[in-house]
Amino acid sequence: MSEQGTSANREGSGRAYRHGSRMLVALAAAVVFFGGVWLARDLLATAALAAVVVIIAYPVRFPLERRGWPVWLSSTAVIVVAYLILAVLAFLLVYAVGQFVAMLPELAEELGSTADGVIGWLQGLGFTAPSAETAAGWLDPATIGSAALGIADQVLGFATAFFFVLTYVIFMTVDGARFRAAAGGASARIFGSPAADGIARRYFTGVRRYYVVNATFGAIVAVLDGLLLWAVGVPIPIVWAILAFVTNFIPNIGFIIGLIPPAILALVVGGWPLMLAVIAIYCVINVVLQVLVQPKFVSDAVGLSLTLTFFSVVFWTFVIGPIGAILSVPLSLLVRALLLEPDPGAVALRRLTGESEGSLPARDSREKKDDGGHPVPDTGSPTGEVRDVVEEEA
């Protein structure tokens, strides 16, 4: 009896050791993989952006093909819609940066006086002069000018990468149509199996729903913010409305990023009362819509938990740069679709990421229960699992 117990303990320890070893190997491989992504971030970021835009625009072709349009013409329509999306975003960014840079010389004197006032206020609170000057450095005209030039350089760099994005859009749209036609000629399954087709369908649908939700709420927030900022007298409100719209695509922290510039400008032109009024406006509008209401819709649309959504922003920004903040949710969904969803043993991890119960394997919902209706722990025997499922289906 003791020998059997010892043998069972050794077997259990061996399984645990093998599982731990596999986890360590998987983590090491992930570090190497994402290190390579970080090194190639300039190349991969443009490809990822183009892929997301094509995913958003691709459904345009389906109603056109049902009406008899040839494949090449429906592909052209997808490319046109994708180009329109990119053109609108590029115009908004260039216009906002241009207006902001043009405004700085007009407010140089106000910025200097506001910085002096903040330094004096901090010194009155007990801060030393160097500490106060450091804290108020973000109001220095030279600092803001350097930041504006840095943003302009980033926009120019984006314009260079924009060419590659446009090229990727053409190639991805054409290749997508060819892949769909080839798969349709070979079998009824585009990705080879019903399970793979279901994973792909959930991913593409989730990405499109995510950006539709964000664009809708972003437009509402941008219009309300812009109108109220104009009403209280904050300069260039349209720029801050554009900023609110763009930062709405950054989960969780986009609200803070969109609030800081107009709040600082309100402090410069109207003092503390106007700054507090701007903060109150953003808190009422953005907190209610972006923090309380929108995350619920985003979570329902893509099946990602709020914690994972926030972590995705930080992680993908570190890996591929600033564009990773906007692409964080689609990239996290892609990782889950490739690594977790095909694995029937990763149900717990998928549930932890926030995936809805309806998309989890049906076998997980048919777990054994005792006479009291409580789940019976799984013994880990594959033969037993198969037998239970077969008996239930029989």
Per-residue pLDDT, 392: 34
Per-residue pLDDT, 363: 47
Q: What is the pTM of this model?
A: 0.75
Per-residue pLDDT, 368: 46
Per-residue pLDDT, 238: 92
CB of 245 closer than 8 Å to CB of 255: no
Task: From first to last of the 394 residues of the chain, give the pLDDT tens digit.
Answer: 455 555 555 555 555 556 677 778 878 888 888 888 899 888 888 899 999 999 999 999 889 988 988 888 999 999 999 999 988 988 888 888 778 777 777 766 676 666 666 666 666 666 665 655 565 555 565 666 666 666 666 666 666 678 888 899 999 998 888 887 776 654 556 777 778 888 888 889 889 988 988 898 889 989 999 999 999 888 889 999 999 998 888 887 888 888 888 988 888 888 888 889 999 988 888 777 766 776 666 666 677 887 888 899 999 999 988 888 899 989 999 998 888 888 787 788 788 887 766 666 654 444 444 445 444 444 443 333 333 332 333 3
d(CA 7, CA 202): 45
In sequence order, what are the residues at sequence separation of 6 or more whose Cβ sits closer than 8 angstroms to the Cβ of residue 118? Answer: 132, 135, 136, 139
Per-residue pLDDT, 364: 43
CB of 354 closer than 8 Å to CB of 310: no
CB of 336 closer than 8 Å to CB of 288: no
3-state secondary structure the chain: CHHHHHHHHHHHHHHHHHHHHHHHHHHHHHHHHHHHHHHCHHHHHHHHHHHHHHHHHHHHHHHHHHCCCCHHHHHHHHHHHHHHHHHHHHHHHHHHHHHHHHHHHHHHHHHHHHHHHHHHHHHHCCCCHHHHHHHHHHHCHHHHHHHHHHHHHHHHHHHHHHHHHHHHHHHHHHHHHHHHHHHHHHCCCCCCCHHHHHHHHHHHHHHHHHHHHHHHHHHHHHHHHHHHHHHHCCCCHHHHHHHHHHHCCCCCCHHHHHHHHHHHHHHHHHHHHHHHHHHHHHHHHHHHHHHHHHHHHHHHHHCCCHHHHHHHHHHHHHHHCCHHHHHHHHHHHHHHHHHHCCCHHHHHHHHHHCCCHHHCCHHHHCCCECCCCCECCCCCCHHHHHHHHHHHHC
Per-residue pLDDT, 139: 58
